[in-house]
Amino acid sequence: MKPFYLILLLLMNFFWSAGLSAYKLIDDRLPAGGIVTLRFGIASVCLLLVWPWLPGPAPRGKNLILTCLMGLILFVVGQRLQVYGNQLGTAGNSSVLMALEPLVTTIAAAVFLREHVGPRRLAGFALGLLGVVLLEQVWRPTFKWTGLIPSLIFISSFVCEAAYSVIGKPVVQTTGIMKMLTVSLVVGTVANLAIDGGSTFAAAKTLSGQGWILLVLLAIVCTAIGYSIWFLVIRECPVNVAALTVFAQTLFGVIIAVVWVGEKPHWGQLAGSVVIVLGLTIGLSRQIKKAGDRGTPAELP
């Protein structure tokens, strides 16, 4: 992975982490399905407006079928599960559960893409999980676990996220990344509108200005830009390497909670943050490829 790509991924993980908090700030009158419909509908419209200037060929044939399938899996099923699970649970619980996403994605990449996961990355994943546990202090009685069903709903969305990456990696080898993303978003939006378009438009009329601003930011920054960067990276490096950076979302969640929400930091956050950074350092230590380096990151342990 190029150092610049790592910086981009860490930056996007910051925004994706903020996105979970943004869901909590959007008007309660807009249900989970409505948030998904509006967020990805806005993203699809924005990308369609610049379609003539998007680089690369549009998906065709088998790639077009796979792209449409990806849109249904993630932007209809996966995101509805994630937003609904997040609304049912707490921010702390979502932060802990989010640590399972890189593991799900890595397992999927190993099974379907035959990616090798070396000992350094395994150590990075282990330290990342430990860091999340320390950071959230899950053993304290003040930590509130949600019920089993909300947690399972939230976790099930990771399967859809993993499927989107695993299916999409071969597609973007011969297809323009942003055009693939646009097509999948349009397909997902059409399906979302068919499910709850009427009720979403009715609720949208009462949405506050803050709610609209958050939705537009989620659509442009976290979706159009974020997913484009994700596929730009995994087109050139193993999915499991990029997935390791998702642990940073929990670390960034602490920063957002302290700065934005005004929560008081505690020692567990410091210890957990140090362990997460150590895990990222070890896991990515032989994956950062400088200009002129030879060999593919997939070959490095």
How far, rounded to the nearest angstrom, does the alpha carbon of residue 71 sit from its chain's CA centroid? 14
Cα–Cα distance measured from residue 91 to residue 243, given in angstroms and rounded to the nearest whole number = 21
244: CB partners within 8 A, 6+ apart: 102, 106, 121, 124, 125, 128, 279, 280, 283, 284
Per-residue model confidence (pLDDT) at position 296: 45
Per-residue model confidence (pLDDT) at position 193: 97
Q: Tokens 């099930």 correspond to what residue?
A: 156
Cα–Cα distance measured from residue 137 to residue 140, given in angstroms and rounded to the nearest whole number = 6
Cα–Cα distance measured from residue 79 to residue 191, given in angstroms and rounded to the nearest whole number = 13
Over the chain (301 residues), what is each successive 10-residue block's mean pLDDT?
Answer: 91 88 76 93 97 97 98 96 79 68 90 90 86 74 65 88 96 97 98 95 90 95 97 94 88 72 66 83 76 46 48
Per-residue model confidence (pLDDT) at position 8: 95
Which runs of consecutive H residues, i.e. helices, occur in the chain?
Answer: 3-25, 32-49, 62-72, 79-88, 91-98, 101-112, 119-136, 148-171, 177-204, 209-217, 226-234, 239-244, 248-256, 267-284
In eight-state DSSP terms, residue 105 is H
Give the global pTM: 0.86
Per-residue model confidence (pLDDT) at position 143: 64
Interior CA angle at 141 toward 136 and 147, to 5°? 80
Per-residue model confidence (pLDDT) at position 142: 64
User: Residue 3 burial (CB < 10 Å; 0-12/13-18/19+)?
Assistant: exposed
Per-residue model confidence (pLDDT) at position 295: 47
* Domain boundaries, given as residue ranges, for the chain: 3-299
Per-residue model confidence (pLDDT) at position 92: 58
